[in-house]
Amino acid sequence: MTPIVPASEGRMTASISAGELFEQQRERLGLRWLAGQRGERRVLEAVETVARRPSLAGYLNIIYPNKVQILGTEELAWLDALDARARWETIEKIIQFRPLALVVSKDQTCPEDLRIAAEESETPLWASPRRGHELLNLLQYHLARALAPRVTLHGVFMEIYSIGVLITGESGSGKSELALELVTRGHRLVADDAPEFTQIAPDVLDGTCPEMLQDLLEVRGLGVLNIRQMFGDTAVKNNKYLRLIVHLAKPMSEPKPMGIERLIGDSGVRRVLDLDVPMITLPVMPGRNLAVLTEAATRLHSLRMKGLDPAAAFIARHSNFLERGDS
């Protein structure tokens, strides 16, 4: 059984600025600046405080302030009902919390004192024709993905039989050659060399390719190949969920004990961010068809995910045979 292998060496701290969020959601949410445009460089980082009680986006809250504060009809009516002193103190609190942005829903008229305070404090203040709950859902989803934990791993990420498979191994183990052969067999390339994985849900790792490496595969002796141009659009895929790791290992000088491993194979898990990803190790030796073995490993993983384990079934059959023999 292969031990758990940590994979935190390429972990990145994600962040997003107010300007980036505005540009990314401007068309979809119909955003426009009301005040505080000089605060477009205000940054929200994926640090521990983001995961605590304040939400990434939510309706106006001055007790547990959200990172993006949404002002709907009820919130503006509540502000209007305050006396002058309480209103001034409330707006001061809103600004002092340094939100990434304030968003007024349904293109409502923004209070002048709030607009002035946002301009003076360089707090981004936007307006949108969308309703408050639409802004809440879309901004919360977008920020959660943008600030999700992510890591860069060394290997080739592919879609094999509709399953996301990361092929890893030491330099020169044949990862790229294996990926090229798998592409010729009808499977699809997601990323070569440095795929990026984002934990978008507690049990989901989404793998993508850096823009610089899009559609490219480096093969020793051939150089850099453009897989999309050579094999067509169906040979590449933009993203895929990581479900299996196939590790190519050079054989050790001393043979391993040939016991139960002959039945169950060399399988284990590898820790990627907060998830344990199943891993199957394939020894690289002359004459082995690694493409066929990788396809078989993927099919075996699919069976195990369905609760079917050929090795366990054989062991049970063997035990039953011995019991019948003793009787």
Q: Judge contact between 68 and 143, C-beta under 8 A.
A: yes
Q: Judge contact between 225 and 193, C-beta under 8 A.
A: no
Catalytic, out of 150, 175, 240, 301:
175
The strand pairing partners of 68, in sequence order, are 57, 101
CA distance 84 to 179: 68
Catalytic, out of 193, 237, 247, 301:
193
Rg (CA), the chain: 27
CA distance 292 to 155: 19
The strand pairing partners of 53, in sequence order, are none
* Alpha helices (H) in the chain, listed in sequence order: 18-29, 73-81, 84-96, 112-121, 132-146, 175-184, 227-231, 261-264, 290-305, 310-326
The strand pairing partners of 281, in sequence order, are 247
Reading the block at residue 114, the tokens are 């709030």
CA distance 256 to 243: 27
Q: Is 75 annotated as a binding residue?
A: no
Q: Judge contact between 35 and 119, C-beta under 8 A.
A: yes
Q: Is 261 annotated as a binding residue?
A: no
Q: At what angle do helices 112-121 and 84-96 cross, to 10 degrees?
A: 30
Q: Is 171 annotated as a binding residue?
A: yes
- Specify whether 193 is catalytic: yes
Reading the block at residue 109, the tokens are 């008229």
Q: Is 175 annotated as a binding residue?
A: yes
- Specify whether 175 is catalytic: yes
CA distance 68 to 124: 10
Catalytic, out of 87, 115, 145, 154:
154
Place of tokens 């659009």: 233
Catalytic, out of 250, 262, 299, 317:
262
Reading the block at residue 121, the tokens are 């404090």
Q: Is 218 annotated as a binding residue?
A: yes
Residues forming the active site: 154, 175, 193, 262
Residue positions in the annotated binding site for Mg(2+)?
176, 218
Q: What residues are designated binding site for ATP?
A: 169-176
